[in-house]
Amino acid sequence: MKANKMFSVKSLFLLALSVLMVLVTACGSGGNDAATGTADEKNEDGTYANNQTISYASVTDVSKANMDDKFHKFFTDKFNITWDYNYIDWDSWPEKMRLWINSGDLPDFASWNYVQGDAMNYIDQGLFYKFPDDWKERWPETAKAYASTGLGERLEEKVGGTYVLPKPVYFQNQPADPLLNQIGVIAIRKDWAEKVGFELKDAYTVTELMEFAKLVKEQDPGKVGNRLIPMSFNAGDLLTGFMMANNEHSRVESAFYKGEDGKYVWGPADESTLTGLKLMQQAYKDGLLDPEFYTWKNSEGGDAFKVTGISGIAGLGGLASYRQDMDTAMKKNLNLDSSEVVHEALIIGEDGKYRNLEQVNFWSSLIFSPDISQEKFERIMDMIEYSVSEDAQRILNLGFEGEDWKEENGELVSTLPEGTTLEDKYPGRFEGLYVLGDDFSVINPAIKKEFRDRSVELYKEKASLSTEGGAMADYDWDFQLYTSRAKDQANFDYATEYANLILQPGDLEANWKKWVESKQSLVQPVLDELNSGDFASK
């Protein structure tokens, strides 16, 4: 009898213990409100015991990639991964991601162009994986990069956890403070400017650039003939150049802003928008733009400058990597040394002030399938954690020490053949994953030092001009993280809207006023919400 009683107590104890272990395991397996655990099994030497086939979606084209080359194998071997890669064309990126997310077909993880309203809806519906509560302790360097974006921790406060990893534009190598958007930089054919007697400066008003374009049109210093396009700007370039130079609140990121009285207003209705529109229309009427500029896709404006060489001015952007790409293209296509024929400058308003957007320190993001296994999640996060390290950043951006780069007197030196890039040697590189290449471009020796120095110089010039009489559109976190149906409906394609306005027959000012009035049914509800006083808490 005594033995039977002892047996029963022991059995009950073991049963209770088993139930407890099952509960603990169940709580730790899904990631939601759970500790990270160690679900991903490792060998005694720290290597990964099991190969994981991981699906990933991105706009990086890997069609030419050799997945067995040294670069790709370094990462697949180190993390024992087999990739199931899903390429998304740039133009279909938003729509395809939207379909995958809503249908529950999201790959294990993906690069997603972050949209606040969509993010809130997807999180609310459980369509994104929720990170374990202690993820920052296990992956501390990723957590630091995440914190640098500004968005991550603010979003956490709204949704009660981490569901999205915003990608930092800059992490270790921010070029200036305050940091302004990399738009607003243009490239001028320096050799043409010298031939027509146009002064080279660090900043030009739109009117001054149009004067140069007129000289180019009249004198054709490059002997281009009837193919000449004095200013090879598409609709987006005109928005970031002509419009933003005169009204920092003329594009979607800053269209709604607080006026001097503390009330929100709609920037495109400001009189300064009309200033930009008049300049756009004059440039079009004077034949300084391509007759069909409004049909051009992303690269066509730049190609007219760096590929066919038929343009005197083009948009460039402030990144040193863009300048390097231009240099490579001009050597390849035009047999020109861009250092001899290209001058970079900023665009300022007609009043001489510099206007731009404060650069929020993120672009796009990483998201994870809500159905991802804990093992796969940990493996991916381990790789992301490694990718943030100094050693990995050098491999990701420079290649391998001794083969692709070396260190001399404390300086990084690229040993790639002149005119070639890491992408030429290892096509389809996508393991960078998290910190964007903009950060490394500041110090990347594969980019000519003169281009890196000029990029930083112009960033600092932007910072100086924006704080000394200029106008920087501050990034309004309250507004950016606010979601509503009204706000979503007032999200216009301003580049197309402005292009349509300057092409319309009739008086431009009258057409602009009619356009402003036509948008009020969508704009006013947003202003009413923003000025209600409590929108930021919603």
Domain with residue 519: its CATH number is 3.40.190.10
Q: Tell me, yes or no, whether 341 and 484 share the same domain.
A: yes
Q: Tell me, yes or no, whether 206 and 298 share the same domain.
A: yes
Query: Which of 369, 366, 364 has the alpha carbon at shortest distance from 108?
Result: 369
Higher local confidence (pLDDT), 488 or 228: 228
Q: Tell me, yes or no, whether 231 and 136 share the same domain.
A: no
Check if the beta carbon of residue 293 is closer than 8 Å to that of residue 234: yes
463 in a domain, yes or no?
yes
**Side-by-side strand order, sheet with 203-205:** 203-205, 342-348, 185-189, 311-315, 229-232
20 in a domain, yes or no?
no
174 in a domain, yes or no?
no
47 in a domain, yes or no?
no
pLDDT tens-digit profile of 479-513? 989 989 999 899 999 999 999 999 999 999 999 99
343 in a domain, yes or no?
yes
Q: In percent, how much of the chain has pLDDT > 90?
A: 71
Q: Would you state the torsion angle of the CA atoms of residues 345, 350, 353, 357, taken in this order, to the nearest 10 degrees?
A: -70
Instruction: Supply 24's token pair.
Output: 């603990």
**Mean pLDDT (whole number) for 280-302:** 93
Tell me how far CA of residue 4 lies from CA of 1, 10, 44, 346, in angstroms: 5, 10, 43, 89
Q: Tell me, yes or no, whether 354 and 369 share the same domain.
A: no
Q: How far apart are CA 229 and CA 240, in angstroms?
A: 19
| φ/ψ bin of 524: left (φ > 0), alpha (ψ from -120 to 50), beta (otherwise) | alpha
Give the angle subtended at the CA of 360 by the CAs of 354 and 361, to the nearest 5°: 125
Specify the number of domains making up the chain.
Answer: 2
Q: Tell me, yes or no, whether 79 and 214 share the same domain.
A: no
> Chain-wide mean pLDDT for the chain?
89
Q: How far apart are CA 317 and CA 282, in angstroms?
A: 24
Question: Where do the H-state alpha helices sit in 178-205?
Answer: 190-196
pLDDT value for 62:
87
Tell me how far CA of residue 2 lies from CA of 6, 14, 16, 472, 527, in angstroms: 6, 19, 21, 84, 80
Give me the domain span that covers residue 139: 52-166+364-431
Q: How far apart are CA 512 and CA 283, in angstroms?
A: 17
345 in a domain, yes or no?
yes
175 in a domain, yes or no?
no
pTM, rounded to two decimals: 0.77
**Mean pLDDT (whole number) for 104-129:** 95
521 in a domain, yes or no?
yes
Residue 352 CA to its chain's centroid (Å): 28
Q: Tell me, yes or no, whether 351 and 370 share the same domain.
A: no
Q: Tell me, yes or no, whether 427 and 481 share the same domain.
A: no
Give the range among 95-99, 103-107, 429-433 with minimum mean pLDDT: 429-433
User: Could you tell me the end-to-end alpha-carbon distance of the chain, in angstroms, rounded to an integer?
Assistant: 66
Q: Tell me, yes or no, whether 136 and 206 share the same domain.
A: no
Q: How far apart are CA 186 and CA 315, in angstroms?
A: 4
Check if the beta carbon of residue 306 is closer than 8 Å to that of residue 330: yes
Query: Which of 248, 243, 313 has the alpha carbon at shortest distance from 278?
Result: 243
pLDDT value for 410:
84
pLDDT value for 520:
97
Give the angle subtended at the CA of 131 by the CAs of 129 and 133, to the nearest 5°: 150
How many CA atoms lie less than 13 Å away from 405 in the CB half-sphere? 23
Q: Tell me, yes or no, whether 415 and 462 share the same domain.
A: no
Check if the beta carbon of residue 330 is closer than 8 Å to that of residue 302: no
pLDDT at 13 over 50: no
Q: How many CB atoms lie within 10 A of CB 139?
A: 21
Q: Tell me, yes or no, whether 159 and 304 share the same domain.
A: no
pLDDT at 18 over 60: no
Give the angle subtended at the CA of 477 by the CAs of 471 and 481, to the nearest 5°: 135
Q: Tell me, yes or no, whether 334 and 378 share the same domain.
A: no
pLDDT at 464 over 90: no
268-281: b or e for each residue (b if 16 or more CB lie within 10 Å)?
Answer: bbbebbbbbbbbbb
Q: Tell me, yes or no, whether 348 and 372 share the same domain.
A: no
pLDDT at 66 over 90: no
